[in-house]
Structure 1
């Protein structure tokens, strides 16, 4: 199951991170910790940072450099209008897929196949 979960997360991680940023602005380590707190323990920190670079390049977030007590300034990510639009598209797609998969699961159980 772990490899299948990893593959499915690759396709949904952007939406998950955008949803977290819709709740509040955060820097990379906070996002990684938040993912782990939500049960996404398998996600590597490097994966999150690579995703943050991509969503910044796509113009889905605003980035502010905030001084850090330890080390260089932190990049704090905030969802912008384009990011909120992308997040709305993600949720619409997620609902569509979830409904179809649930229906498929129901059909499979009703037909007695397994």
Structure 2
């Protein structure tokens, strides 16, 4: 089944922040991690990363790579941790609300 592009866009920031709160990561690594669970296009992640940096939820730094050119790493900020907590709370409520709607409709059939 194909997941809606809008669903993916809506949850991408949450996924990125969740991953970078665990450890700093570079863009390609983030794309690979997300793609294990949610199929996204190669370049789909970078606009979200730019927005997260612009809004102060992530910061960046460059580090040399033993496998080639330097990599830009993303690090979650304190503001980003607060935002992630809000997103997770909203997500959990959203999932519960959708499941409640489905269960109610199934009972009413």
TM-score by length of 1: 0.88
Give the unaligned 5+ runs of structure 1: none
TM-score (norm 2): 0.92
Give 5+ residue unaligned stretches, structure 2.
Answer: none
CA distance in 2, matches of 1:67, 1:29: 15
CA deviation string 1:47-66 (max 9, x = no partner):
11111111111111121110
Question: Is 1:12 paired with 2:7?
Answer: no
Give the drift of 1:84: 0.3
Equivalent position of 1:27 in the other structure: 26
Q: How far apart, in 1, do the equivalents of 2:105 and 2:23 lie?
A: 40
Output the CA distance in 1 between the equivalents of 2:105 and 2:8. 24
Alignment correspondent of 2:46: 49
Q: Which digits, 9 at most, give the CA deviation of each residue in 1:53-95, with x for residues without a partner?
A: 1111111112111012312x21100111010011000011011
Take 1:24 and 1:5, find their aligned partners in 2: how far apart are those partners? 28
1:1-114 counterparts in 2 under 5 A? 2=2, 5-37=4-36, 39-41=37-39, 43-69=40-66, 70-71=68-69, 73-112=70-109
